[in-house]
Every structure is written in structure tokens, then in C-alpha cells.
Structure 1
Amino acid sequence: MWSRREDERLLTGGGRYVADLVVPGCLDAVFVRSGVAHGVLSAVDCSEARRVAGVVGAWSAADFPSGLHVPYTPSAGLSAEEAVAGREWPALVKERVRYPGEAVAVVVGEDRYRAEDGAAEVAFQVGPLPAVVTPRAAADDSVRLFDGLSNVAFQGAAGEPIEESVWRRAAVVVEAEYRQQLLMPTPMECRTILAVPGGDRLTVWSGHQAPHRLRGQLAALLGWPVDRIRVVAPDTGGAFGSKSAIFPEYVVVVFLAVLLGRPVRWIEDRMESMLTATRGRGQDQRVRLAADADGQLLAYELTIDADVGAYPHLGAGLPMQTARMATGPYRTPRVYATVRSVLTNTMATYPYRGAGRPEATIALERSMDALARRLRIDPAELRRRNLLPPESFPYRTPTGRVYDSGDYGAALDLALETLDYAGWRAEQARRRGDPSALPLGIGLSCYVERSGGEPGGLHEFAGVEAREDGTVIARCGSASSGQGHETTFSALVAEELGVDQVRVELVEGDTDELPDGVGSFASRSAQVAGAALRQACELLVQEARARAAGLWGLPVAEVAWSGGAVSPARGGAAMDLGELVKATGPLRVEDRFESDMGFPFGAHAAVAEVDPELGTVRVLRLVAVDDCGVVLNPMIVKGQAFGSAVQGLGQALYEGIPFDDDGVPRLANGLLDYLVPTAAEIPPITVKDTCTPSPGTPLGAKGAGESGCIGTPAAIVNAVADALRLADPGVLRMPLTPDVVWRAAR
């Protein structure tokens, strides 16, 4: 088992984050934010702020160029030009506040303390307007966020409409409504950016998941060629999807650094993050699921009203991920999913760990349990009857996805065996016969997800360089935010080249090191970036053999490669990489690798005990069985599965943004108001896996980082519904707070 190379450095204070960087003459930026969710900005006065000692400057939108706004950059179907048209996202509010915490001014000081003092002196007025914070409330356009434009910014569909006769002929039809609450990604390190001008170039440091994307966006903003900008992602304290975009604060910081000719830094604090960082999930869903008398699925219809926040720039098309994955792991002949992306008075919705797939899984799996109750079929048996069999792959779903490989039944069987499903069912029956015993429920969730990204983004750049001292530099266009790239990628390169892992150094997250790169998101690191590094290693070996052949006057076919060295195939002294470089000059290869999508899958199972009088839920056991194809590092994959399961637990039981009537989040006490699971709330979790290699990548790997967020929530909610024996699954709305459970029990 490999040890993690990063851990000693990170756990002993040796990490280097943006806030740790010491830059002479650096200024700190502080943003002045609206306390109103929706309103008209009538005046901003920065004059008193400019008089504060140590304040270098203070600006409102009136002091900035009119074109300074968040640029729209098309990316992987997350938004669309037509959704953004007419809906400018200003870097600082010009006339109208559209979400709580939107920045109305910025103050720059010699340090953060002086900038904060200056920010306290900025005066402004906002005339409140009615606010809407759910897509259902906003969709009727009674409160419009942009004059003359509908709040519905995008509409889409996957699959084909289903005739009403299908529903009429079905033996049973389950109908339900679900609400997927808005969530906060809540990484340990909030958003960061440091812009350092120098000569005719600008170096930007940011804890970012996609440095090359950020470079392109900033170049477009400034009207510069991309080679004038260098973006570096140093150590990053988590992201979960929330750090792969450009934000208003980034635009302002970069503009001020160029304007002032001095380094400018912004470090988001926790309260800022809770108010203005991106949101995840946020869907109102309506479902219809039809089956025959034997439980064979006939049709599934999913209608989505999605909250995409006040500006559609980041995620207007994101709910299409839910629509395209609506089929789940089942042989449902007719599936139709429709999407409306609706603007609300909240910060923009953006990918959060799972990004569209948890929403699809929760809707379908909760409906599967409701269908099982209606048919009086065991939920596990109902799923077995409908899971796609191994021989059906590759399988084109009714919504247009092409699943690569899988043995869905094996994952379900392993989850049931690991949980001791029969034993818990027996305990449940015993409790139901004992009036004094607390109700017990068992919940299941089978899922399939998409990993690697969408067409147009299924590629990565990688390079490998051998040096005279025998070391190997591996370069990759990704950027780790805690996934263990230093460990996994270094070991992968060492294994491919046959050298000791200590000789391999990984370089990533720096746009000067590679001509292009895509980044780390969508569970793509091992599947796409890992395969790119493998391809680069193969090219390096080919080049090394060709050089050796030239040195020795042999055909390339008569030069062997083994253990990081070349040698004549018919016998003779071997020459290692370092010696070859000394003899023939620098040896470096780079290439772009193209991947297919991957479709990881799994089955999660939960046992929960419910107190109907108190509304409390105690998860007694959670089992997560995931299949991400070939596992490159079992320790890291298990950690990813465990961590994401904990986040799935948070969505099911604890996390959700509470809003006042005026649309402002009730988060005055920080993480005391937005609950995330701590060690005390984590139940016994067993993580296991099956292995179905992906035929679409040379490593056979599929994405591994998002499984728990996708499979766990539905399993827990289904367990609670099972304990309470609910006929209407829609009465349970996440998070399952004691109030929600108490009301559902009645």
C-alpha cells in the first residue's frame, strides 16, 4: 500500500496556500457587501473610506469601467450564450442588488485590518424589492430579476415525451414531488486570489481547480494574449467543485492589480463564503414512475425546476446533467426529463460534488422505494428485476447516454451481504411487533454516474521529462485540491517507466509548465489525467529507444526498455535515463490525450432508527459499495468514498440554507446555523468495491470522488421512510431535521 506523499508536508504546516505567500508590497482587498437580497442601489459613498489610515483606495462600480463584468466562457454545457444574453453580471453592483452579499464596493489597504476599517466607512443605500429564493416561487415572473426578461433562463429536455396511454395501461404509477435543498460546498479553505503584476506579465495565484481556464477568462477580460498571464494553483484546501469558475471578486482583484501596478490579494473568510460562495443542488422535482404488476419498469418522467441563482453565467445548463442521468441503472424503456433553469435571489448555483447526478439518483431511488411499497415487493428484489444486466453494455439510455460497462447486480448483492440485509429485516419485523421499540428502517440506493466530463472537455495535456541526475518530472494539466495527485500520479509514472517513485516529481497547477490543461473536476483526475500521463510515459519510452538505437547503430526494434533503462535486445550493457540524457541531450515529451466518458456505479444501503415522538434519526449502519473500474490507489479511493459518504449524510440529515422572509440567509452564527456532520454524527460506515474496468480509457479507471454524495442521501431518506412506513414519499424533505421527521410521522 502506498503512503501519501503529501501528508507529512501538509500535516506539519509545510503547505503553501495563497494566504501564506509573502509578496513585498502586497495590498489586501475587502469587499463591502449588501445585506439585502434584492433591491435598487441608489448611492455608494467611498469618500470616508479613502481617508482611513493605511487605505490605498476605495471604489464603487461608478469608479470602474462600464465593461468590467464577469466574462461568460462556454464550458461543458454548464451555461449557454442565450441564457446569459441581456443578463450582465457586474463585478460590482451598478444599479441593482440581486443576491445577499453581492459586492457594492471594494477597499484596498496596506493590510487586511486597514482595509476592513476602510470598508466599515463606506456608506450606501439599497431600496428593498421583493425576493424569491426557490425556483417555484420565481418561475411565474411576478418578481423579475432582470427587467423585460423572464426568470426562466434556460429550458431543455432529454429523452422523448411519453404518451398518456402508457401511464393509463400501467398496473401502478407512483407520483411524487421532491425538493433538493440548496447546499454549500464548505471547503476548509475558502476562495482565494493573488494578482502580482511584473513587467508586461501578470502572475495570478489562486486555489483553483482549472488554472488554464482561469487564465483564458482573465486574458479575455483584460484583452491580453494568454501568454501574458500565468496562473498558479498552490496547495488548495478543498474545493468540491466550487473553485473552477471566475467570480466577481477575481475580476476586481485582477483589475486593481493592473490599475495600481501592485500585488493585490483577496482571501475569503468563512462568513463571506457562507453568504456569497457558490451553491449546489437546488431543484424542485416532480416524478411519475410506472410499472407492470410484476414490477417491471415501463416509464419514468422527471420534471425539474432548478435554482441557478441570480446570474446564469455559471450553471444555467447544469440541471441537464440530472436530465441526462435520469435513467439511472435500470432498463426503463421510456424516460423523459425536462428542465427549467430559473433565476432566484441567491448566489449562483454551480457544480458541487456530484453535480446533477445526486439529484437524479435521489429522485429515482426514492420513487423506486415508493413503487416497491405500492407493489408489496421487497425493495431489493424490485431493483434486481430492473437493473441492467452485464451483457447489455455498452448501453444507450433513452436520454442519450452510452454506459460503458458494469455489473450493477453484483454491487447490490455485495451491499446487501455486507449490511446483513436479511438480519436487519428480521430485526425490523421484531420491532414492529414490539410497541415499545423504536421503528427501524432499511434504505437502498443504486446509482450510475458520469465521470470525466462532457464532449469537448474529455481531454488533458501531460508531459514527462527525464533529467541527467536520473529524476523524472511529470507534468499534468490538472490541479489537485486534496485528491492526492502527488501520490497517485507519481506512482503511476514510476510504475510505467520502471523507476523508483522517489525519483518522480509531479508538476501541475501552473500554466507556464504546460501549453494547455483542463483541470480537476467531474471525477476526471485518474480517468483522464492519469491516462494522459501514461500516454506521455509511452512516448518517452519510444523516444528513449529511438535515441539509444541511434547511439548504438541498431534498429529501434532491437532496443529493449526495462527498469527505467534502455539496453540492446541481444545483450549488452544497459543505459539508464540519466545517462541517456547526458549522451543525447534534453529528453521531454508532451501530448494531449482524448478520453471517453466513464460511468461508475454502485449500491448504498443504510439502517436508521427513528423516534417518532422526538423526530430524531439515528443512522445505525451505512454501507457503500462503489465500482470505479480499475483502482490506482486503494487507500485514496477509499478515503474519497468515505468522505463523500459523509457529505451525502450531511445532505440527507443536516445541511440546508435557511432563509428569512426577505430572502437573506439566516447564518449569523456561521457553522452553528449551517450544520455539517462532525465526527460525533458519523455512523459506522463500511466502504467496499467491485471492479468493472472501463473500456474507454487505457487504465480502465473511472471517476471515484463523488460516489457518496450520489448514493448515500437516498439510502438514508429511504431508510427513514421505511421506518415510518410512509405512503407519500414527498412528505420527507431534506434535510431530515427533527421537525420534518416529526411532522412526517403524523
Structure 2
Amino acid sequence: MRSPVAHGVLREVDCTAARAVPGVVGAWSAADLPELPPVPYTLLAMLSTEEAVAGREWPALVKERVRYPGEALAVVLGEDRYRAEDGVAEVTVTIDPLPAVVTPSAALKDEVRLFDGLSNVALRGEAGEPVEESVWEEAAAVVEATYRQQLLIPSPMECRTILAVPEGDRLTVWSGHQMPHRLRRELAALLGRSTDRIRVVVPDTGGAFGSKSAAFPEFVTVAHLAVKLGRPVRWIEDRRESMLVATRGRGQDQTVRLAADADGRLLAYALSIDADVGAYPHLGAGLPMQTAWMAAGAYTTPRVHATLRSVLTNTMVTYPYRGAGRPEAAIAIERSMDLLARRLGMDPVELRRRNFIPPDAFPYETPVGRVYDSGNYAAALDLALETLDHDRWRAEQARRRKDPDAFPLGIGVSCYVERSGGETGGLHEFGSLQAGEDGQVTARCGAAPSGQGHETVFPALIAEFLGVPETQVRLVEGDTDEQPEGLGSFASRSAQIDGALFRRLADLLIDEARTRAAGLWDLPVDRTEWTDGSVHTAHDDTPLMGLGELVKHTGPLCVEDRFETGQAFPFGAHVAVVEVDVDLGTVQILRLVAVDDCGVILSPAVVHGQAYGSALQGVGQALYEGMRFDDDGVPHLAGGFLDYLLPTFTEVPPIDVKDTHTPSPNSPLGAKGAGESGCIGTPAAVVNAVADALPNVDPGLLQMPLTPDSILRALRASANEEGAR
């Protein structure tokens, strides 16, 4: 039973009639479950802090106050979903509505406080040093702008799932989840159990995009009731629930200042962030620091300063969504670069080239504290422009500007740098390789894929490392009984960290095999060699001994390790060509070129697919997606995906995916993350292209998503302003 209001005081929840519905096993409100634990918070990757959550409990079922629409008021268990739904229909509630705030600007007034006596600002942060006022005063050109990064719904193919099964003194949990070991650890703490009494299994999962790595209120409730009743309890989120109460992405109001000298050399950049983190700070209060840390982008700006306020609003919690803070950083700096180019009368491409970090400057420490590992930003941009045939499109743009009947055409560029792998303290993974008497190699690691292609990539890598057929390698993931320790799949870390882990494990297995063979043959280890999955002597005076035979002679062969890498910084350049129908306000992308550099590519097909899909999600943010709310704070979602628009097959533009290759020195394989590039690089390219197509429109009016309504409003406002002059 979910709240129909965004904010209010809960007076009563009555489950009596629900319990009388045939097939209903039980119905409870928070008052009926005083022992129900609250939702935990996480320090992982600095997503939250103890100070941010102090005094702000997130109850699994509302106790006194509703803080976002759809917050759970009661839970009903039925023998099947239909009986449970019938039970929910019989629950009655009384809520005294309160005013709701659904934007940071409204919440910052503190006129409506989500927690009595506490400010709506849950966390403050900064990166870099403040810029002296004299820098702005003496600069040849300074541009200022505000940007709104709208709230997005991650919208994975499969919504959230959990099945909790009591088995004696153990609890087995099945869930579509990105971090099974984290879920096990958090459930153990909530239930007062040791982790060895909880097993988490993650089967095939239909997408996540960052949104499935926490212990959510529903998960806490399901696990608690399964233990309480001694019966399996399952919750499968339907799409309407997911759109109402699954986590959100993005959600920032940004103010920027960018200064340059007369030659277009950047002097200073200031970014101020007011981030919408939702009703509770438990999962994403610290997430906007990712934007602050990546504020510098691809440029040698000597002074960069980013400040942030994480603001509570009456919306569902904001959490990592594909890109997780880096798209927000890229959009702010890249839109500002175009504004500065316009102010200076420069080609936006030339302005970027003039300020790129040069290849010989790496490793490069930015003023906001990131140390970029490697890069060749000009090469990526050059390839993007060459692939696009940039000069031809500029000529076409010039032709159209002379034709009053032609649709305006614009070209937009976006150059980005992102961080992959995670933050310091989370750049490692656990795993093992085990060889059997049949020669099969079982690979285990702490990852839990949700469509990244681990089943294809990892066995192929391990087979290559060991020199055995791929069919001889079996991958086991997503089971805390099979792999006792692990971190999971997030932050585009699979190739960079897990791939390197398997490289290390393969080396360990080969070393152990050589040591065992040397013992069998009574030889020094350095007299043995490994070739194509077999061990032999250096002078080939003994027959090859395969893994299976070696295990038969010497017993089980298993190696395990914890392996850690450094951070990596993928980068790229995206270019979009659009035309705008000024009568209808529609934007059509005529061409999109995405050039990404993820270092050494381990699987070209997988990387291409990731880049393509991510670019389309970037198009979604630029043109279609965004949460809209009524005056009372309830979102417009009654029509599902008719109210929240995703790009469908019809809206897929021509996308060219290309890549450059700059290996990372921080990982043994040279690989960097590849999964989030399009969400980071594409939105600014599309918005810049629309602004380029409409040079007489105030760029500040062009805020995402660029729907027909927003385009027409911008055109009318600019026409009125011109008329007033």
C-alpha cells in the first residue's frame, strides 16, 4: 500500500479488512511491526555520510510522516500476487497532506522541511580552491549560465526483484542485484545474523544501470517477514511501481562561470551544484561529489572550483544512474565551452583544441584533485570530425541559413572525461580459478552482471591467458556461497578490475601448475614451462601434462586472490548534427558520431554494443526523458511510458561508434571502463547542436529535455525579446 501524496502526516493505517480477504496471509503497517528495521545507509564510494543521515531515519514502512509519493504505508502478503493486490485495495489510510517541494530551489528556502528542526541541506562539499575575484575581472571574456539536469528514471528492462527463503537457520535471498555481497552484509546486520547464515544468489538480471545495488525498503520488509513467518516471501516490482518508487538519476541545478583570455586560453571555471537527492540522504547525498571531482573536463584550466549542496526534496531517492555524476559534469563544462566560443567569436572546435590537456602531460592532476591516467583528447575529436565529415555539414548549414524555407541545422560537439572502476578503497575484487580432473577450469569472482556480457568476455579472456579452449572454462558469479567475498558490478569496472583479476589468477594457476609438475618430475621449477594449457620441461624431454592429468596426480588445484588496480579515466568526443522544425518544435538528429577511448578493448562487439546503447540513453536525456510533477508533488506517470518518454526504435538516429586506444597504466590489461560513455558524451553534443541551429535563441532557455514544447517556448521568448528591442 503506497502513499498517494508526496508529503503528509500519517494519522492511521488500518489493515483489518485486508486480513479478511481470502488468500491473504497477513497485512501489517509500521505499528504492527515495531521490530522492523529501518533502511540502511551506505558509505560506499562516499554515497552518504553519518552526518547526512543523523536524525533522518528512513523507515521501511512509514511510521509518522510520508516524504515521497509512493512511500510504503503497509505490506500485504497473499498466496499469489492477485490476492495480495486485493488485500492492498482494502487497506485504509488517513494522511494530513503537507506542502511538497520537488526542486532544490524550492527546498532550499527551508519553508517546508522534510525533517523537523533540520535543514533540507543534508551535505555540503567542494573540490578545488576558490577563484580570486581579480581573475574574473581581468579576463577578456567571462560567460555565466545556469543548467538544469532533470530527474531521470533508469528504466531497466527488468524491475527490482527479491525472493527470501528461510532454510533452517539460514536465509537464502534471490534478487536481481549488482552487489550480492553488499546485500548479504546489509541484510545480516538488519536481521542480527552473521553473514554465513545468509546466502544471496543473483540469477540472470535484465539490466540495472546502477539502480540495483542497495538494500531498498521493500527488500528490508521482505527479508524481515520471511524470517518472521518462516515462509518464502517474494516481491516483484511492476513497471508502475518502478516508475513511482525506484531510484532516480541526475537531478542537479547548476550555475557556472567560465573565463578565458583574448586568445581563448581558459583561465578559470567555477561550478555551483544544488543537487536533488530525494527524501532521504541514505543512498545518494554524496553522489554529487562525482560531478565536482570531474568538473575540469578535458582542459588545462588552471583554476577550477566546484561547490555543492545536497538538498532533500519530496521525491524518491536519487542514486547512481549510468554515468553517475559524470554526465552532469560534462554537460556543464561542454555547454559552457560553446557559450564561450560564441562570446569570443571562435570556432567551438578550435577553442577545445586550444585548451586540451596534451598527451605528454599525463598523468595529469586537475585542480579538483583527479589524477588522469592517460589520454589523447585531440585524437578522439579529430576522428569524430573526420567520421562526421564536419566540413560538409558546415557547408550545408551555411546553405540552409540562406534558404528561408529550410529547417535550421546545427552541429554540436562534446568532449568528455570520466572515471571508471570506483573510488579509492573500492578498486579491488576477489576471485578464484579451480582446475578439475576433467581439465575444466571454474572461474569465480564477486561480480554480478546485468547485461554486460561477462559470460562471453571472461571465459574467453581466461582461455586466452591459459591457452585452453573457451569451452573448457566455466564462469560462476552472483552467489555468495560460491564466492565468499566480492564487491559487484558497478562503475564500469568489469574489464578494468575483474579482467585484470583473472589475468592475475591465471598467472597464479600457471605458477602452481609448474611447481607441482616440477615436484612430480623432481626438477627445479625453472626447468618447467607452460604452453597451451599444459606443462612440460624446458627442453621438451617429458610429455605434455594437461591440467586434468596434473590434478589427478597432485590433488585439487585452486588459486584465489584479492586484486586491486588504480582508477582509470576513459574519454571521448561526440558530435551531433540536428535539424529543428521551428513550426512544430521537433528536433531530428541527422547524424551522431561517438568516439570513445576505453584503453585496450577486450571484446570489440561488447564495447560497441555498450557504446551504442549508452549513446541512445544520452539521446533520451537530451530530448525525451524527465520527471514532471503536479503542484502537490505527485509525478505525471499515470500513462506509464506514454508520460515518461523513452527513445524507441523509431527515434534511433544514425549512430556511428568509433574508438581510439590509449591504454591505462593503472591496470595490467590497459583496459578502462566502457559502459557509460554515451550517457556522458552525447547529451551536451545534442543540446549544443540545437543551440547552434537556433543562434538567435537564448541558450539559457534550452534546458533538457528539449521537447517540442520547450523548443517552441524558447523560440517565442526569444522572438518577444527581439520584438521588445
TM-score range, shorter chain: over 0.9
Asked if 1:288 corresponds to 2:264, the answer is no
- Residue 76 of structure 2 is matched in structure 1 by 107
Asked if 1:547 corresponds to 2:534, the answer is no
State the secondary structure of the residue aligned to 1:156. strand
Asked if 1:373 corresponds to 2:345, the answer is no
State the secondary structure of the residue aligned to 2:73. strand
Shift of the 573–726 alpha-carbon distance from structure 1 to 2, 3 Å rule, reads farther
Select 2:359's aligned residue among 390, 394, 397: 390
- Residue 721 of structure 2 is matched in structure 1 by none
Q: Give, in angstroms, the shift of residue 613 of structure 1.
A: 2.0
Provide Cα deviations, 1:596-621, integer angstroms capped at 9, x if missing partner.
00000000000000112221111100
- Residue 260 of structure 1 is matched in structure 2 by 229
- Residue 455 of structure 2 is matched in structure 1 by 486
Asked if 1:85 corresponds to 2:54, the answer is yes
User: What are the equivalent positions in structure 2 for 1:393-412 lying under 5 Å apart?
Assistant: 393-412=362-381
Equivalent-residue separation in structure 2 for 1:150 and 1:495 (angstroms):
56
- Residue 535 of structure 1 is matched in structure 2 by 504
Provide Cα deviations, 1:93-144, integer angstroms capped at 9, x if missing partner.
0010000000000000111111111111111111100000011110121100
User: What are the equivalent positions in structure 2 for 1:143-154 lying under 5 Å apart?
Assistant: 143-154=112-123
Provide Cα deviations, 1:336-391, integer angstroms capped at 9, x if missing partner.
00010000000000000000000000010000011111111111111000011100
Select 1:683's aligned residue among 653, 659, 669: 653
- Partner letter of residue 548 of structure 2? G
User: What are the equivalent positions in structure 2 for 1:31-430 lying under 5 Å apart?
Assistant: 32-66=1-35, 68-430=37-399
Equivalent-residue separation in structure 2 for 1:325 and 1:719 (angstroms):
23
Equivalent-residue separation in structure 2 for 1:438 and 1:65 (angstroms):
63
Equivalent-residue separation in structure 1 for 2:499 and 2:179 (angstroms):
16
Asked if 1:618 corresponds to 2:581, the answer is no
Q: Give, in angstroms, the shift of residue 726 of structure 1.
A: 4.6
State the secondary structure of the residue aligned to 1:610. strand
Provide Cα deviations, 1:545-571, integer angstroms capped at 9, x if missing partner.
111111110111111001001001122
- Residue 724 of structure 1 is matched in structure 2 by 694
- Give unmatched runs, 5+ long, in structure 2: 719-725
Equivalent-residue separation in structure 1 for 2:269 and 2:244 (angstroms):
37
Equivalent-residue separation in structure 2 for 1:130 and 1:451 (angstroms):
40
- Partner letter of residue 604 of structure 2? P
- Residue 642 of structure 1 is matched in structure 2 by 612
Equivalent-residue separation in structure 1 for 2:672 and 2:182 (angstroms):
23
Q: Is the 8 A contact 2:698 2:714 kept in 1?
A: no
Q: Please say which of residues 567-576 and 679-688 is displaced more in the overlay.
A: 567-576
Equivalent-residue separation in structure 2 for 1:568 and 1:63 (angstroms):
71
Provide Cα deviations, 1:582-641, integer angstroms capped at 9, x if missing partner.
111111111000110000000000000011222111110000000000000000000000
Q: What is the RMSD of the two structures over their aligned residues, measured on CA atoms?
A: 0.7
Spell out structure 1 runs of 4+ moving beyond 6 A.
none
- Partner letter of residue 295 of structure 1? G
Equivalent-residue separation in structure 2 for 1:658 and 1:467 (angstroms):
56
Equivalent-residue separation in structure 2 for 1:656 and 1:55 (angstroms):
37
Asked if 1:522 corresponds to 2:491, the answer is yes
Equivalent-residue separation in structure 2 for 1:256 and 1:222 (angstroms):
11
Q: Is the 8 A contact 2:60 2:220 kept in 1?
A: yes
- Partner letter of residue 87 of structure 1? R
State the secondary structure of the residue aligned to 1:103. coil
User: What are the equivalent positions in structure 2 for 1:443-454 lying under 5 Å apart?
Assistant: 443-454=412-423
Q: Is the 8 A contact 1:37 1:99 kept in 2?
A: yes
Q: Is the 8 A contact 1:35 1:100 kept in 2?
A: yes
- Residue 564 of structure 1 is matched in structure 2 by 533
- Residue 679 of structure 2 is matched in structure 1 by 709
- Partner letter of residue 363 of structure 1? A
Q: Is the 8 A contact 1:642 1:687 kept in 2?
A: yes
Equivalent-residue separation in structure 2 for 1:65 and 1:125 (angstroms):
20
Q: Give, in angstroms, the shift of residue 728 of structure 1.
A: 3.6
Q: Is the 8 A contact 2:358 2:376 kept in 1?
A: yes
Q: Is the 8 A contact 2:36 2:224 kept in 1?
A: no
Provide Cα deviations, 1:31-54, integer angstroms capped at 9, x if missing partner.
x10010000110000011101111
Identity over the aligned pairs, expressed in percent?
75
Equivalent-residue separation in structure 2 for 1:108 and 1:407 (angstroms):
57
Q: Give, in angstroms, the shift of residue 729 of structure 1.
A: 2.2
- Residue 594 of structure 1 is matched in structure 2 by 564
Equivalent-residue separation in structure 2 for 1:228 and 1:726 (angstroms):
65
Q: Is the 8 A contact 1:560 1:568 kept in 2?
A: yes
State the secondary structure of the residue aligned to 1:33. coil
Shift of the 727–666 alpha-carbon distance from structure 1 to 2, 3 Å rule, reads closer
Equivalent-residue separation in structure 2 for 1:589 and 1:416 (angstroms):
48
Asked if 1:698 corresponds to 2:668, the answer is yes
- Residue 632 of structure 1 is matched in structure 2 by 602
State the secondary structure of the residue aligned to 1:44. strand
Equivalent-residue separation in structure 2 for 1:47 and 1:239 (angstroms):
37
Select 1:500's aligned residue among 450, 454, 469: 469
Equivalent-residue separation in structure 2 for 1:139 and 1:539 (angstroms):
55
Shift of the 726–233 alpha-carbon distance from structure 1 to 2, 3 Å rule, reads farther
Equivalent-residue separation in structure 2 for 1:347 and 1:704 (angstroms):
28
- Give unmatched runs, 5+ long, in structure 1: 1-31
Equivalent-residue separation in structure 2 for 1:417 and 1:492 (angstroms):
33
TM-score by length of 1: 0.95
Q: Give, in angstroms, the shift of residue 515 of structure 1.
A: 2.2
Equivalent-residue separation in structure 1 for 2:301 and 2:54 (angstroms):
37
Equivalent-residue separation in structure 2 for 1:726 and 1:458 (angstroms):
47
State the secondary structure of the residue aligned to 1:468. coil
- Partner letter of residue 585 of structure 2? G
Equivalent-residue separation in structure 2 for 1:244 and 1:580 (angstroms):
40
- Partner letter of residue 647 of structure 1? Q
Q: Give, in angstroms, the shift of residue 66 of structure 1.
A: 4.8
- Partner letter of residue 141 of structure 1? D
- Partner letter of residue 244 of structure 1? S
Equivalent-residue separation in structure 1 for 2:371 and 2:230 (angstroms):
51
- Residue 741 of structure 1 is matched in structure 2 by 711
- Partner letter of residue 104 of structure 2? P
Equivalent-residue separation in structure 2 for 1:87 and 1:213 (angstroms):
22
Provide Cα deviations, 1:162-220, integer angstroms capped at 9, x if missing partner.
00000000000010000000000000100000000101111000000000011110011
User: What are the equivalent positions in structure 2 for 1:16-27 lying under 5 Å apart?
Assistant: none
Q: Is the 8 A contact 1:176 1:728 kept in 2?
A: no
Q: Is the 8 A contact 2:30 2:36 kept in 1?
A: no
Q: Is the 8 A contact 2:36 2:60 kept in 1?
A: no
Equivalent-residue separation in structure 1 for 2:218 and 2:16 (angstroms):
21
